[in-house]
């Protein structure tokens, strides 16, 4: 028997669903509260909706939430979780504590088909898109407090834009998780039509993964550049009427001898000067047989210093979770399909 999945639904859809079941639609907000704020796995956990209604719900719906199947803790306190969907799509999520900030880095796909050379996720292929409910599940089913959500895990948000936009709405809606729009960030390689939709249909922050300010160099590392030039995304961000003060950022993974020369720095300053777009400088994390190395810290700090003194906001992101393959570009979930149930967190 088909059962409706609550996680991933909005208020209007739940009201319509309860109406079809002959239930009081005034219970809709409470139902979503229990799913999105309390992360319940069973309707039996609800204590403020009549038992008769809960029995009808249990016969016709599931919450759509599930606990991670296993986890790994880094020496720096960050933690990586492995989730799987009812359809068997495995995906990884990272929780990053940093002072009062508690960030969760969620996946939007199992695998990725962008083929970026410096990212481990796409090396094992693309297995499928995650639904909005499966994206939200990675936030509400963690055993930790979360203050910020970044869609920077496995997959390209622009390649699963319908579900990503739906997830953004649930994350920020008052009937959803009610996370402030400034606390939700979507990272993309710059799928132009999807960036347009993010700008028009959400109020979340946007990060563009750049790698190089020179199109030919970027194309050799980020194949999507051939179809969606990064200049198109930058143009959209520059032209956006940013009265609500969304944060637009360029993520720049620094690789020794590849994109860390003065020539690259000068071009970054030319591209971003006066735009209000920030630069986040990230260390590179090699994987497999990769012989590339991250730029050293003095070089990264020089980039930051020159960007800041030229009027461009810039920061150097600390490396987190590299010892458990949880750092940027390292998520892959390979060889995880046979996770033993005795490692389960359920």
pLDDT in tens, 129-165: 999 999 999 999 999 999 999 999 999 999 999 999 9
- What does pTM read for this prediction? 0.93
| Residue 336 predicted with pLDDT over 80 | no
Percent of the chain with pLDDT over 70: 94
Based on the residue annotation, tell me whether 16 is a catalytic residue of this protein: no
Q: Report phi then psi at 298, rounded to 5.
A: -55, -40
Q: How confident is the model at residue 337 (pLDDT cuts 50, 70, 90)?
A: very low
Q: Which of 92, 134, 156, 225 is catalytic?
A: 92
| Residue 304 predicted with pLDDT over 60 | yes
> Residue 107 and residue 80: Cα distance in Å, rounded?
12
Q: In what helix (H) or strand (E) does residue 73 lie, and over which residues does it extend?
A: strand 70-73
| Residue 31 predicted with pLDDT over 80 | yes
> Residue 333 and residue 93: Cα distance in Å, rounded?
10
Q: Report phi then psi at 102, rounded to 5.
A: -125, 100
> Residue 326 and residue 72: Cα distance in Å, rounded?
9
Enter the tokens of residue 15: 């009201």
Per-residue exposure over 113-134, b if at least 16 CB sit within 10 Å of its own CB, e if not = ebebebbbbbebebbebbbbbb
Residue pair 93/68 in contact (Cβ under 8 Å)? The answer is yes
Mean pLDDT of 308-320: 93
Q: Which of 105, 112, 204, 328 is catalytic?
A: 328
Give the torsion sign (CA, 164, 185, 135, 189). positive
| Strand ranges for 99-166 from DSSP E | 101-105, 109-111, 126-129, 148-151
Mean pLDDT of 66-74: 95
Assign domain 70-324 to its CATH architecture.
Answer: Alpha-Beta Barrel (3.20)
| Residue 5 predicted with pLDDT over 90 | yes
Q: What is the pLDDT of residue 318?
A: 82
Mean pLDDT of 200-215: 97
Q: Which of 4-8, 53-57, 281-285, 316-320 has the lowest mean pLDDT?
A: 316-320
Based on the residue annotation, tell me whether 92 is a catalytic residue of this protein: yes
Which CATH number fits the domain 4-62, given the four candidates 1.10.3470, 2.60.40, 1.10.10, 1.10.150?
Answer: 1.10.150
Q: Report phi then psi at 39, rounded to 5.
A: 65, 40
Residue pair 108/153 in contact (Cβ under 8 Å)? The answer is yes
All structural domains of the chain with their residue ranges? 4-62, 70-324
∠ Cα 127 128 133 (to 5°): 135
Mean pLDDT of 257-279: 97
Show the DSSP H helices in the chain as ranges. 11-20, 28-32, 51-60, 132-140, 161-172, 192-201, 215-221, 230-239, 262-272, 297-309
Q: How confident is the model at residue 172 (pLDDT cuts 50, 70, 90)?
A: very high
Q: How confident is the model at residue 290 (pLDDT cuts 50, 70, 90)?
A: confident
> Residue 333 and residue 325: Cα distance in Å, rounded?
10
């Amino acid at each position: 028997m088909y059962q409706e999945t609550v996680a991933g639904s909005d208020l209007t859809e739940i009201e319509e669903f309860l109406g079809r079941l002959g239930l009081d639609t005034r219970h809709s907000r409470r139902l979503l509260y229990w799913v999105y704020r309390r992360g319940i796995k069973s309707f039996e956990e609800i204590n403020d909706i009549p038992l008769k209604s809960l029995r009808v719900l249990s016969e016709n719906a599931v919450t759509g939430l599930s606990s991670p199947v296993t986890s790994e803790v880094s020496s720096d306190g960050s933690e990586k979780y492995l989730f799987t969907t009812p359809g068997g799509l495995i995906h990884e999520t990272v929780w990053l504590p940093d002072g009062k900030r508690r960030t969760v880095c969620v996946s939007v796909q199992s695998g990725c088909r962008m083929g970026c050379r410096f990212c481990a996720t796409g090396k094992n292929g693309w297995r499928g898109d995650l639904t909005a409910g499966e994206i939200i599940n990675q936030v509400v089913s963690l055993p930790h407090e979360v203050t910020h959500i970044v869609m920077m895990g496995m997959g390209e948000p622009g390649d699963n834009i319908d579900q990503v936009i739906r997830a953004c709405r649930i994350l920020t809606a008052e009937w959803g998780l009610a996370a402030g729009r400034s606390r939700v960030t979507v990272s993309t390689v710059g799928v132009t039509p999807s960036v347009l939709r993010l700008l028009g249909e959400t109020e979340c922050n946007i990060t563009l993964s750049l790698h190089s300010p020179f199109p030919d160099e970027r194309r050799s590392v980020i194949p999507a550049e051939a179809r969606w030039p990064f200049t198109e995304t930058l143009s959209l961000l520059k032209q956006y009427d940013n009265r609500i003060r969304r944060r637009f950022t360029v993520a720049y993974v620094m690789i020794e001898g590849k994109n860390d020369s003065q020539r690259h720095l000068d071009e970054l300053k030319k591209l971003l000067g006066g735009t209000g777009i920030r630069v986040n400088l990230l260390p590179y994390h090699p994987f497999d047989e990769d012989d590339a190395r991250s730029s050293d810290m003095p070089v990264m700090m020089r980039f930051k210093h020159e960007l800041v003194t030229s009027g461009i906001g810039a920061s150097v992101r600390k490396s987190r979770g590299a010892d458990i393959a949880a750092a940027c570009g390292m998520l892959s979930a390979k060889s995880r399909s046979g996770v033993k149930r005795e490692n389960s967190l359920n």
